[in-house]
Amino acid sequence: VTPETKLHREKWLGFLLLLFPRDFRERFGSEMEQVFQEQKNEVHKEGGAMGMLRLWWETIVGVFRTAPSEHFSMLAQDVKYGIRMLRKNPAFAMLAILALTLGIGANTAIFSVLQSVLLRPLPYRDGQQIVVLHQPNLTNPDTGFSVPEKVDYSAAQSFSDVVEYHNMNFTILGKTIAERVKTGVVSANFFEMFGVKPILGRTFSPEDDKLGAPAVLIFSYEYWRKNQNGDPDIIGKTFEMNDRVHTVVGVLPPVPQYPDENDVFMPVSACPFRSSPGLIANRGGRMLSLFARLKPNVTVGQSQAELTAIASGLHKEYPKFYPAAKSYSVADALLKSELTQNARPTLIVLFVAATFVLLIACANVANLTLARMSRREKELMLRAALGAGQSRVLRQLVTEGLLIALPSALLGVGFAAGSLKLLAEFAARLTPRAREIHMDGWVLAFAIAAAVVTSVVFGSLAAFRSRKDIVTNLKESSSQSTSAAGKRTHGLLVVAQVAFSFVVLIGAGLMIRSLLNLQRTDPGFQPERVLTMRLDPNWSKSLKADQQLRAQQNRLLGRRLIEKLSSQPGFQSVALASGSPLSPDSLQNGPFANPFIIEGTVPTDAAAVPQSTQRAISPNYFRVIGTPLLRGRFFSESDLQESTPVAIISQSLADRYWKGADPTEKRISLDSGQTWLRIVGVVGNVRDFGIEHQPEDTIFVPVEQNPASRAVLIHAAGNAHSIELEARQAIQQVDPEIAISNVETLEDARAESLASPRVTAELLAIFAGLALLIATTGVGGVLALLVSQRTREIGIRMAMGAQRADVLRMVMGQGLGIVLIGIVIGAFGGLALTRLFKTLLYGVTPADPLTFVGVAAVFLAAAAIACYLPARRATQVDPLVALRSD
Amino acid sequence: VGLKDATNSDRGIEQQLTLPMLQVLIALASGDKHGYAILQEVSVDTNGRVRMSTGTLYSVIKRLLNEGMIQELRERPALELDDQRRRYYTITEFGRRLAAAELLRMESMVALARSRHLMSDPEKA
C-alpha cells in the first residue's frame, strides 16, 4: 500500500461523519477514516463483494446508532452546565426570563389574532374565490341590487354561483315575550355556495324558496346558543313570525357573517317584502346584496371586466334606472378583504409594536449575557485555549440561551392564552372574523420560533464577542479591561433598544393623543342620564293595513308611548325618534344620505344635488339629548299631521346652503317637490354616526308628520340605567308585541363608539410601558457595567482633582449620550413607520411634533433616573481603593 | 493537564461500565493499541461474534477518555512505519481498577447464578 492510498480520503464516510457533533468529528474523524480504510483493506484481501457490503452496512448502522447519542450527551452536558451557570446568577435568569416572557407573550397574543383574522383562509369552502358585488353611484358607495339586476348579473360567465342576501328585522313570537330578530333573507343555495354545513338539521333547499312553500328558518349558532339555550331538539320546533308559522330546519356552525350578524335566516320566498310582485319587477328597487363564487382560475380583474361590460349594456337599455349624471357602476371585491379591511391597520400596528417589544427584550437579554460573559471570560478563554472549538462555545451559549428562552416561550404562550379572550372581544369591533380567533399550531410554532431565534441570536452575539475577547485578553493582563469592541457591542445594543422603544412610544403617544382628541370632541349632545332603546313593533300587523292606516296606527302608538312613559316617576322627559345618536345601527350602517331640493334653486348637475340624512323626531328630542337650538324654534305639540309641514336643519346644513343667512321660513322638499317643508329652526351639529366622523348634514321632521318611531329616548331624573326595567314594563303595557333591543344609555353609546381606539391606545401604551421599562433597565445595567470597568480610571481622575459632580456629569453624559443617539435614530424610524398609522389617527398627524418632543422628554427623564444610580456609585469611588484594584 | 472541566468532574465512578466499554478495556489490557487494532482484538477475543463499528468504537473511546479510564499515548512508532492518523491508547490505572471491580461484580453474579442452577458449572460440563 503506497502512502498516497493510505492518505486517500474517504469521501462517503466523510459525509456520514457529518452526522456527529463537530467536536467529535474534529477529534476522532481522521482516526475513524483510517480505521475504516484498514477494515476495507482487510475485506479486500479476503475478497468478496458481500464482505464489502457488510462492512458498509455495519458502518452506516453504527454511525446512525451512535451519532444521535453523541449529540444528546453533549446537549445533556451543556444543559447541566447551563443550569449551573444560571443558578449562580439567579437575578440574571429571572430578569432575562421576565423580559422575554413579556416580549414573547405580547407577540404571540397579537400574532394569534393576526393569524386568525388576516392570514388564515376564510372558513368557507374555497373562501378565496368568494367575492362581494357593489353597485356604487356618485352619492352612494353601495346602492345594492334590485331583483332584475340580480338576474342580469347572475348571467356573468366569471361566476359559478351568484346568491343574494338582504337583512330585515322581524319580530319572533313563540316564547314569553316578543323578540326582535335580525333576519338574513337569502337564496336557497346561499349556504351551499359558501360551503357552510349546518351543525343541526339542513340548509335551505330549492323547494323552500318556491312561492307559497311552508316557511322555514335556520338559526345562527350564536342565537341558538344564547336565545334557545342550545336546545338540541330545536329542529322541527315552530315560531310565529310575520303572522306565519315558521319551522326551524337547521342550525349554522359559528361562521363569520357579513355584512351583518344575523340571528336567523329565511329563504327569499318567506320575506313579505322580497316576495311582493312589485319589488320583483322593479329594476330600481335596490335592496339586495350579491355574493358570487368565481369560477376556478378566474381573477377578480377578469370578473370586474365582465361586470363592467354587463353594466354598460344595462345602462344603455334602461337609462331611466341609471341616470348618466349619477354615474352608476358595478365592482366586485374579495370577501376576505372586505371582512378584514377594518382590522388590518390596527392589527398590523399592534403586531409591529409587539415585535419591537420582543426585539427590545432580546437586545436586553443579549446585553445581560454579554455583561455576564465579561465575568466568564477566564472560563471561556480557558476552554478555548484548551481546544474547545469556536462551535463548541457557541453551542454552549446557544443552549444557555434556550434554557432561558424556552421557559419564556412557555410562560409567554400561557400569558397569550390568558389574554386572548379580551383580545377577541376587542377584535370583534373591527371584524366579523373575531369569533375565529384561537391559538393553533402556527401560533405555538411562532412562539417557539421566536424563542429559538432569540436564543440563537443572542447566543451567537455573545460567542462572537467572546472570540474577540480571547485574543484581546490574552494580550492584556488586566481582568478589568473590556475591549473596545465589547463596549461598542453594548453601546449598539442599547442604541437599538432605545430606538425601537422610542418608535413604540411614539406610536402609543400618537394613539393616546388621538384618543384624547376624540374624547374631547363634542358629540353635539349631552349623553348624561339618557336611556335609549330601539323599538320594533310587530311588522306583520301594520303590513296588512294600507299606508294611510299604517301611518295612523304608528302615530297613535307613538302618542300612547310618549304619554305612558312621560307619566312614569323618575322619567324627566321622553322623546321618540327614527334613530338615536351613536346607536349600534348607526355605527354599523353609517349615514344614509337622501337628496332634497331647496325651493328656488336648480342644481347644475347630479353631484351638486343637496344631500342630507333625515330623522323623524318628537318635540322633546333635542331637550332630551341636550342639543342646543341656534335659530328659530323646536317642534311643538301643534306640529301635527294636518298642520303645515315643517323641518329643522342642522347647523352644518344651514352653513353649507345658506352660508350664514337665516334659513328659517325657507322651504325644502324631500320628495322631489311634492310636499314643501318650512324650515322652523336650526340646531347644533350632532355626530350621530361616530365621533371620529364629521357631523352629517341632517334634516329633522316631526314624528307626527312622518310616523316612524324606532327609538325611544328617556332623560332620567337619576341614574339612566336604573329606569330600564320600568321603561320596558311601560312599553310592554302599551303593546306587548313591541320588541325592545339595543338598550343603552347615551353615555354607553359614546363609550362604545370610542372603544376600538381606546383599546388600541391601551394596548400600545402597555407595549410602550414594557419597552420603556426594558430599555431603561438596559441602559442602566450597561452603564453600571461600564462604571465598574472604569473604576480605576475614575479613581485616577478623582486623585487628580476631579470633583464628584464632574464624575457624575461624565457618567450621566455617557449614558444619556447613548440614549440621545437612540432617540434620534428612533425619531427617523418613527417618522417612516407612523405612516402605517394614518388611518387610525384622529386630529393628529403621524409626525406630530408635540408627541415626538414629549416622548423624547419622557424617555430622557426615565433614562436619567436609570443612569443616576450607576453614576452615583461612580462618585463614591475611593481613589485609593480604586488605584489598588487590579 | 488537570483542568476540572464539566466533562469529567460530573461523572461519578459509580457509573456502570457498558459491555462495549468493558470489551475495549479488556482489549487494551494486553497492550497499547490503535483503533483498528482494538477492533481486531475485540473480534478475536469473542471469536468473531462481536463486530464493533467504527462509530461505536469511537463513542466508547470518547467516553473512556472522558472518564479517565484510558489515555492517548504520546510516544508512537516512527512516522514512516505508521499512518500518521493513527493514535494509540493505553489503559490507565483507574481504568484497570474500574474494569477489575466490574468484572468481580460480574463474577459474583455468575457464582450466584450458578449456585441457583441458572447456568451449568463449566467443570461439570
Please give the full DSSP string across A419-464, using - where no structure is assigned. Answer: HHHHHHHHHHTT-GGGGG----HHHHHHHHHHHHHHHHHHHHHHHH
Touching check for A36 and chain B: CB below 8 Å?
yes
Q: What number is the average pLDDT over the span A412-438?
A: 86
Q: What is the pLDDT of residue A3?
A: 43
Closest CB from A27, A33, A66 relative to B55:
A66
The answer to whether the beta carbons of residues A360 and A501 sit under 8 Å apart is yes
Nearest residue to A625 via CA among A691, A697, A712: A712
pLDDT > 90 in chain A, percent: 31
**In A565-610, where do the E strands start and end?**
571-577, 594-595, 597-598
B85:A30 CB<8 A: yes
The answer to whether the beta carbons of residues B105 and A54 sit under 8 Å apart is no
pLDDT in tens, A154-206: 999 999 999 999 988 888 876 666 787 889 999 999 999 998 999 999 999 98
Closest CB from B3, B53, B85 relative to A382:
B3
SS3 of residue A171 by DSSP? strand
Q: What number is the average pLDDT over the span A236-263?
A: 87
Give how far B99 is from chain A: nearest CA, Å. 22
Closest CB from B53, B56, B85 relative to A34:
B85
Closest CB from B5, B7, B36 relative to A38:
B36
Q: What is the pLDDT of residue A490?
A: 76
Asked if the interface predicted TM-score (ipTM) of this complex is over 0.90, the answer is no
Q: What is the pLDDT of residue A564?
A: 94
- Chain B 102-121, residues with CB within 8 Å of chain A CB atoms: none
Q: What number is the average pLDDT over the span A857-876?
A: 87
Q: How confident is the model at residue A257 (pLDDT cuts 50, 70, 90)?
A: confident
The answer to whether the beta carbons of residues A677 and A683 sit under 8 Å apart is no
Peptide bond just before A259 cis, omega within 30 deg: yes
**How far is residue A403 CA from its own chain's centroid?**
33
pLDDT in tens, A315-365: 999 988 888 777 889 999 998 888 888 888 888 888 988 888 888 888 887
Q: What is the pLDDT of residue A390?
A: 65
pLDDT in tens, B72-116: 987 766 655 666 778 889 999 999 999 999 999 989 999 999 999
Three-class SS of B35-62: HHHHHHHHHHHCCCCCCCCHHHHHHHHH
The DSSP letter of residue A513 is H
CA distance B111 to A713: 100
- Is 80 exceeded by the pLDDT of residue A464? no
Q: How confident is the model at residue A843 (pLDDT cuts 50, 70, 90)?
A: confident
Give how far B28 is from chain A: nearest CA, Å. 16
Q: What is the pLDDT of residue A5?
A: 45
pLDDT in tens, A396-411: 778 888 888 888 889 9
Q: What is the pLDDT of residue B2?
A: 35
Q: How far is CA B70 from CA B10, B14, B89, in A?
A: 17, 17, 7
When scoring A7, A40, A66, A87 by the number of chain B Cβ atoms within 10 A, the one with the most, hence best to mutate, is: A66
Report field, pTM of the whole predicted structure over 0.90: no
Q: How far is CA A836 from CA A349, A811, B115, in A?
A: 7, 38, 85
- Chain A 76-135, residues with CB within 8 Å of chain B CB atoms: 77, 80-81, 84
Q: What is the pLDDT of residue A884?
A: 67
- Is 80 exceeded by the pLDDT of residue A284? yes
CA distance A535 to A575: 13
Touching check for B125 and chain A: CB below 8 Å?
no
Q: Is A408 exposed, middle or buried (0-12, 13-18, 19+ CB in 10 A)?
A: buried
B62:A27 CB<8 A: yes
CA distance A492 to A481: 19
Q: What is the pLDDT of residue B119?
A: 81
Q: What is the pLDDT of residue A261?
A: 83
pLDDT > 70 in chain A, percent: 91
pLDDT in tens, A761-799: 998 998 999 889 888 888 888 888 778 777 788 888 888
Residues of B in contact with A65 (CB under 8 A): 53, 55-56
Grid cell digits, residue A816: 444619556
Closest CB from A62, A81, A386 relative to B56:
A62
If you search the block for the grid coordinates 442452577, which residue do you land on?
B117
Residues of A in contact with B51 (CB under 8 A): 58
Q: How far is CA A752 from CA A429, A434, A691, A719, in A?
A: 9, 17, 11, 18
Touching check for B81 and chain A: CB below 8 Å?
no
The answer to whether the beta carbons of residues A251 and A221 sit under 8 Å apart is yes
CA distance A309 to A303: 10
Give how far B53 is from chain A: nearest CA, Å. 5
Q: How confident is the model at residue A479 (pLDDT cuts 50, 70, 90)?
A: very low
Q: How confident is the model at residue B11 (pLDDT cuts 50, 70, 90)?
A: very low
- Is 70 exceeded by the pLDDT of residue B8? no
- Is 80 exceeded by the pLDDT of residue A44? yes
pLDDT in tens, A2-14: 444 444 567 788 8
Closest CB from A28, A35, A38 relative to B62:
A28
Q: What is the pLDDT of residue A545?
A: 62
Question: Which one-letter amino acid corresponds to residue A65?
Answer: R
Of the listed ranges A217-231, A322-336, A841-855, B12-26, the least confidently predicted one is B12-26
Question: Which one-letter amino acid corresponds to residue A716?
Answer: A
Q: What value does the mean pLDDT of chain A take?
A: 85
Q: How confident is the model at residue A378 (pLDDT cuts 50, 70, 90)?
A: low
- Is 80 exceeded by the pLDDT of residue A831? yes
Q: What is the pLDDT of residue A653?
A: 94
